[in-house]
């Protein structure tokens, strides 16, 4: 008989971290059979599993499973569902050895039986009164050995026993009282839990990426995303005092290439938004809105590429970086490096790293610019100097003054936001969920409030003028050439993340509650399910007892329903849906 394990761990503010207490008579047989996740499995995950945020170190969001395919997906049906906790729901179901782990809003974790969703154990963290007024979203955990790791809304990193939910160790990494927090989730790389801090909005709060021993939580290294005195890039902030250099949150999970031993992390915007508010003049404000390649052993910066220097418009660039090996033969793209030889194969860092909706291709070893191609409408990036690796911005939008509106595409919601792209290796195709939206942005006088930065501008969003009222875009892009294979356009915004599968399918959700399966090759919609709510979670696919399943968590997430008032839904409905063939 299965018995639930209830963990009631409460960490008092200012107290030393202690393990949680498990209330149980015996472990579930499913939990007892759980086997540790090895380093080799992280490098090459079993087809049946989903062990980390986007399943693989390269952030492909791709399952190689083929049982559900283009010929039978039309019969996909509900296998079981599970009601999740309240709060902003943006979870990634993690799967291994008959168990599913749901890291949910406000650091509530449940372990479920894959057969029917029966709960095996739960962990609930006490919520603190955060100065950033967080909805305390938590997008993922990470499985390794016999543990599940998560970063918390109060800036702690902890390891739970995967079998019981008990706290194995816990360390305080940041200071939640000034707004610091975790939301993007960690990655386990070479026995280290690697995670980026967010909420660095107040005095003396540069953000950082840190690596911690997976057995103890001990910090191995820390790399700040804003340079300190004497470091390269320090002068790009001008005369701004060190204590006022804020932002640069690397809050999304990093990707990793084991052969190059490089970690790729994205960095967010400077704080406050406008240069006139920051006092930074025309400096680049490194390393905001950049891709950083870090040595996995030391955290040392191997190379960087800044996608938007001196951002003025909250066009965040901390999103998923995909690592792909491909032929590089840029075709009819907006920007290309004419100094490279077409047809060569190389590893690239690609995807849509920021809200502009631009797909980038950078050399994974060196950071050299290869090509870039917009998806949605954008008027921010004008040109790219491949030789100097410098992005040239629209000067008509630069240096907005307080109280004077500027028209910017996309809006600060994106283009794309934290919802993720996916890559299908069989067709060498990137799938991008973006939106054709713009904004009138007006800077306010900046008020320095601990933990807060949103509100330093007024924003009126609109549909892009050339979009004909169609907000959502779903683009399939050839990663060899940078050219689109097909584009699906629709009225409803596409705020969901993408799942690719070996069955020739690609799944995504939208603002109208549609969960769809598209044909990878043609873009035809082969299956559709109307859910109870739009999906803030990341879809996954896994195999159990010989059957393939597709799972998606609804509730919360990015949406553009303010621009499509006819599309309505209630602000609730956090549910996990799990589908399979008859």
* Of 277, 314, 272, the residue nearest 412 (C-alpha): 314
Tens-digit pLDDT profile for residues 204-263: 678 999 999 999 999 999 999 999 999 999 999 999 999 889 999 999 999 999 999 999
User: What confidence category does residue 449 fall into, taking pLDDT thresholds of 50, 70 and 90?
Assistant: low
Mean pLDDT (the chain) is 93
Q: Residue 297's pLDDT is what?
A: 98
Burial of 162: CB neighbours in 10 Å, binned 0-12, 13-18, 19+: buried
Residues 535, 541: Cα–Cα separation, whole Å: 15
pTM for this predicted structure? 0.95
CB 441 within 8 A of CB 458: yes
The arithmetic mean of pLDDT across residues 426-433, rounded, is 98
The arithmetic mean of pLDDT across residues 21-31, rounded, is 69
Q: Residue 572's pLDDT is what?
A: 80
User: What confidence category does residue 455 fall into, taking pLDDT thresholds of 50, 70 and 90?
Assistant: low
Judged by DSSP in three states, 243 sits in helix
Residues 363, 324: Cα–Cα separation, whole Å: 10
CB 225 within 8 A of CB 250: yes
In the chain, what percentage of residues exceed pLDDT 90? 86
Q: Is the peptide bond before 287 cis (omega within 30 degrees of 0)?
A: yes
């Amino acid at each position: 008989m299965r018995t639930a394990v209830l963990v009631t761990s409460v960490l008092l503010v200012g107290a030393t971290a202690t393990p949680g207490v498990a209330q149980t008579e015996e472990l579930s047989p499913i939990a007892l059979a759980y086997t540790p996740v090895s380093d080799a499995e992280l490098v090459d995950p079993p087809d049946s599993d989903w062990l980390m945020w986007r399943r693989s170190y390269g952030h492909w969001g791709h399952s190689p499973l083929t049982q559900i395919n283009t010929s039978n997906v039309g019969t996909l049906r509900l296998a079981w569902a599970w009601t999740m906790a309240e709060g902003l729901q943006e979870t990634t179901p993690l799967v291994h050895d008959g168990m599913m782990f749901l890291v949910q809003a406000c650091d509530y974790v449940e372990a479920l039986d894959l057969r029917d969703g029966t709960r095996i154990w739960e962990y609930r963290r006490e919520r603190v009164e955060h100065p950033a007024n967080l909805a305390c979203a938590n997008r993922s955990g990470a499985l390794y050995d016999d543990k599940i790791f998560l970063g918390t809304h109060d800036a702690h990193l902890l390891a739970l026993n995967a079998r019981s939910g008990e706290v194995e160790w816990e360390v305080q990494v940041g200071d939640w009282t000034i707004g610091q927090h975790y939301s993007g989730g960690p990655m386990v790389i070479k026995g280290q839990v690697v995670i980026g801090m967010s909420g660095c909005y107040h005095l003396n709060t540069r953000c950082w990426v840190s690596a911690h021993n997976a057995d103890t939580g001990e910090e191995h290294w820390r790399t700040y995303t804003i340079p300190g005195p004497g470091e390269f890039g320090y002068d790009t902030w001008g005369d701004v005092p060190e204590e006022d250099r804020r932002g640069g949150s690397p809050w999304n999970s990093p990707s990793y290439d084991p052969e190059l031993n490089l970690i790729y992390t994205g960095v967010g915007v400077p704080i406050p938004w406008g240069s006139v508010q920051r006092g930074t003049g025309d400096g680049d404000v490194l390393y905001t809105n950049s891709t950083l390649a870090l040595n996995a052993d030391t955290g040392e910066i191997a190379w960087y590429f800044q996608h938007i220097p001196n951002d003025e418009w909250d066009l965040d660039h901390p999103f998923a970086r995909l690592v792909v090996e491909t032929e590089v033969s840029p075709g009819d793209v907006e920007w290309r490096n004419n100094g490279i030889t077409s047809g060569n194969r190389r590893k690239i860092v690609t995807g849509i790293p920021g809200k502009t909706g631009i797909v980038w291709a950078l050399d994974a070893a060196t950071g050299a610019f290869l090509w870039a191609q917009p998806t949605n409408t954008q008027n921010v990036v004008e040109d790219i100097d491949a030789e100097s690796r410098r992005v040239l911005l629209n000067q008509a939008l630069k240096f907005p003054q307080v109280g004077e509106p500027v028209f910017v595409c996309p809006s600060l919601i994106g283009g794309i936001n934290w919802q993720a792209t996916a890559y299908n290796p069989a067709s060498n195709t990137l799938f991008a969920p973006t939106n054709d939206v713009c904004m009138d942005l007006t800077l306010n006088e900046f008020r320095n409030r601990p933990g807060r930065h949103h509100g330093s501008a007024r924003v009126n969003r609109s549909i892009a003028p050339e979009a004909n009222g169609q907000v959502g875009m779903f683009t399939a892009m050839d990663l060899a050439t940078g050219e689109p294979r097909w584009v699906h356009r629709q009225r409803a915004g596409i705020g969901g993340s993408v799942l690719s599968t070996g069955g020739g399918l690609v799944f995504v959700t939208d603002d109208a509650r549609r969960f769809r399966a598209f044909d990878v090759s043609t873009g035809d919609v082969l299956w559709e399910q109307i859910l109870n709510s739009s999906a803030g979670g990341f879809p996954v696919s896994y195999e159990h007892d010989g059957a393939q399943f597709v799972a998606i968590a609804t509730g919360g997430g990015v949406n553009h329903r303010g621009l499509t008032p006819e599309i309505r839904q209630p602000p609730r409905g956090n549910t996990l849906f799990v589908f399979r063939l008859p």
